[in-house]
Amino acid sequence: MPSAGPDYTHALTSAKDPHLTSPFPELDSDGERGKKEQPTAISASIAPEMTTAATALATTAATAQPPSLEISVSPAVNPLAASAPSTSVPDALASLTHAAHDQALEIINSLQSSARRRRSSVEAVAAASSVLASFASSAKARHANRTEAAAALATAVAAANSPPVLNPQMTYSSGQHSAAAALLAASGLHPGILPTDSGMGDTGIPQFDVASFGALPAYAVEATVGGDPSNTAQTLLTTIAETPTRSAGKPAVAAKPSRRKAAAGEPDLELSMSPPSSQFDGPLTSNGMPLTPDAPGSGRPGSLRHLTPDERRARRLQRNRLAAKECRQKKKVYITNLEQQVEDLENENSRLRKEIEELNAKLTLGGMRTSSTADPALVLNGESPQPKRSRVADRSAAPNPDV
């Protein structure tokens, strides 16, 4: 059975952002690679784009008669829900027209592109936006999904708007939650989104309390137990749940021998499959790892020096596992884009050749009617006809390429 990982490729490959055409070279050539932006700055830069998307949705949708979207909050799944009654998403947002979807899709793709060029602190937001993109695309034909897309987008907007007041660790955490919320909405599961008391923001988009998503991953997993129609959503939700977002429980894993060296059939300690621990409430590192309290004398937040070698190894393996996944996904997208470029260029090439043939045919016909000294066919074939000029004139007219 092929593994069903999060499918980000749709949003990535469909984006028009030029950066997307060649992520690897682009990152390497412009010196961006390795330069990490602070999560707060990242989120701040993304927020306007998301806000723009949401505004576009609301504006375009204003002409339609919208259904009412109930985002109910279940206290059973979210303890914080008891303090906040069910709230309706504004009708303008709930009634997404096809044009709005197209517009949103474009903007979201751009957002996805921006997020992708950054690092792990925004990967969850990127995941959310990509899901939204594919979801918005598929939602054109289904009214209910449009409303869910609106809710999901509003959630993502809220997540993007919130980070400036959050520390970097919480930025990632809220990103995860927004991704989960978006996925829940996209998969038709109970969103459990908590609107804040502040109500509408400047853009007319309801502001959601990102902090209230604290219970999301746990019940998200519960919600998928019954059978999620969306493999993408289920997989990412599971991933989110297994990421120790709110848990620091470190699996007691003994250092295992190299998989290459291990004898066949030897039980493999699956660090990644260790059950998600759910007691941690502390901050997270930028990549979602629980931020370890500083060891005495440790100058770097989250120092692993006080951990046992086994624990350090387990963490490194887990991070590398995630990094490898990300890298492969990135590579896959890169290859896909290259293939698409090849196809596009081949199409363009054949189109231009056809155009040349047509123009040549026209010129040939014209040449038969009028006596022309020039040979336009040569020009159109890309062969540069030698102008009947002196070499002196040539030298003065064109700059020397060797200089």
Q: Does 225 engage in binding with DNA (CB under 7 A)?
A: no
In the complex, least distance from residue 254 CB atom to DNA, rounded to whole angstroms: 12
Residues numbered 41 to 80 that lie near DNA (CB under 7 A) are: none
- Nearer to DNA among residue 24 and residue 280 (C-beta): 24
Between 208 and 334, CB nearer to DNA: 334
> Taking CB under 7 A as the rule, does residue 36 contact DNA?
yes
Residue 300 sits in the site that holds DNA (CB under 7 A):
yes
Q: Does residue number 259 form part of the binding site for DNA (CB under 7 A)?
A: yes
Q: Residue 330, interface with DNA (CB under 7 A)?
A: yes
Q: How far is the CB of 319 from DNA (least distance, A)?
A: 4
Sign, Cα dihedral of 228, 231, 235, 236: negative
HEC per residue, 235-285: HHHHHHHHCCCCCCCCCCCCCCCCCCCCCCCCCCCCCCCCCCCCCCCCCEC
Query: Stretches 34-42, 81-89, 98-106, 366-374: which one binds DNA (CB under 7 A)?
Result: 34-42
| Interaction between residue 258 and DNA (CB under 7 A) | yes
Binding DNA by CB under 7 A: which of 137, 231, 287, 340?
Answer: 287
Residues from 180 through 219 that contact DNA (CB under 7 A): none
Q: 217-225 contacts: CB < 8 A, separation 24 or more?
A: 217/176, 217/177, 217/180, 217/241, 217/245, 217/246, 217/276, 218/278, 219/77, 219/78, 219/192, 220/180, 220/183, 220/184, 220/189, 221/276, 222/77, 223/77, 223/184, 223/189, 223/190, 224/189
CA dihedral angle for residue 105, residue 110, residue 116, residue 119, rounded to 10 degrees: -120
Which residue type occupies 138?
A: S
Binding residues for DNA (CB under 7 A): 1-3, 5, 24, 27, 33-36, 119-120, 256, 258-260, 262, 264-265, 268-272, 285-287, 289, 300, 302-305, 312-313, 315-321, 323-328, 330-332
